[in-house]
Amino acid sequence: MTRINQRIVLASRPRGEISADNFRLEDAPVPPLAEGELLVKNLWLSLDPYMRGRMDDGKSYAQPQALDKVMEGGTAGEVVESRHPDFKPGDAVVGRLGWQTWAVSNGAGLSKVDAARVPLSAYLGCVGMPGVTAWYGLKQIIAPKAGETVVVSAASGAVGSVVGQLAKAMGCRVVGVAGGPEKCKAVVEEFGFDACIDHRGGDLRQALAQATPNGIDGYFENTGGEILDLVLARMNAFGRIAVCGLIAGYDGQPIPVNNIRAILVSRLKVQGFIISEHPQFWPPALAELGEMVASGRLRYRESVAHGLAAAPEALKGLLKGRNFGKQLVKLG
């Protein structure tokens, strides 16, 4: 019996916000395996803000998503058949097999993981790319010392929630920024931040000043927008800013920065980074994050959409901040 693969391809490039018309759901037969190949049943699909940028045909740090090709994305699944010497049926694997239910792979970019020790879905979140992003940006760029104040935007998200917990473990005062009282409550009560500012809650300038009475030494930037301007004005001398994402501008909106003079006046370090360019840091980061999850010292949340067809709307929701924690699509 021939297996049928469901896949979503990029049908057109968005103009502004993404829409359902930008995607196309297709069925295709799963081809037989050649020597050196394996068949993976994808069980989880990762949705991440970077996907919006790659849907455009513009200059960026990576090639644009190709039209009429399977949408790129991280996956976690199980090997069902194998003609590859390093993989056997039943192996739990993570990789970048894209928006599809089945995938034939030659093994490149696939990693076997221990799904008994850490839940499989977590390898797409806090023990995956988002977690390593948090670990690197905090430890290698911000490099905070105990007693310093670190502010984290999108603090309830897959990256921000890990940043805050790592910073707390390093002895810092940690202030999050999130959207809505429910998320802010979880940031403090579940993830252990010292305070959280609701960016929809009124006077952000006053709220930030109250939460950071000694100024700000480190800032982990996920969003851009008004909060970046306010943080710049409160940065202490020789503060460090790790720029991970600018989601506020991913749908084409401008991201004005008025307090750019603070970079000079306060002698700030502002560094953007792409975690895929730092492979040497993945093993130590994943080892630490995996141990923290297994021991219960690192907490996380997941927002789960069900079925491949739900992925486009879930991505749109992610870009609007509707997710809570890591945005996933459950495929199996």
In the chain, the percentage of residues whose pLDDT exceeds 70 is 97
Domain 129-276, architecture per CATH: 3-Layer(aba) Sandwich (3.40)
pLDDT band (50, 70, 90) for residue 253: low
**Which CATH fold would you assign to the domain 4-125+300-330?**
Quinone Oxidoreductase; Chain A, domain 1 (3.90.180)
Domain ranges of the chain: 4-125+300-330, 129-276
Tally Cβ neighbours within 10 Å of residue 262.
Answer: 19
pLDDT band (50, 70, 90) for residue 321: confident
pLDDT band (50, 70, 90) for residue 58: confident
Q: What is the pLDDT of residue 257?
A: 84
Q: What is the pLDDT of residue 224?
A: 84
Record the pTM.
0.91
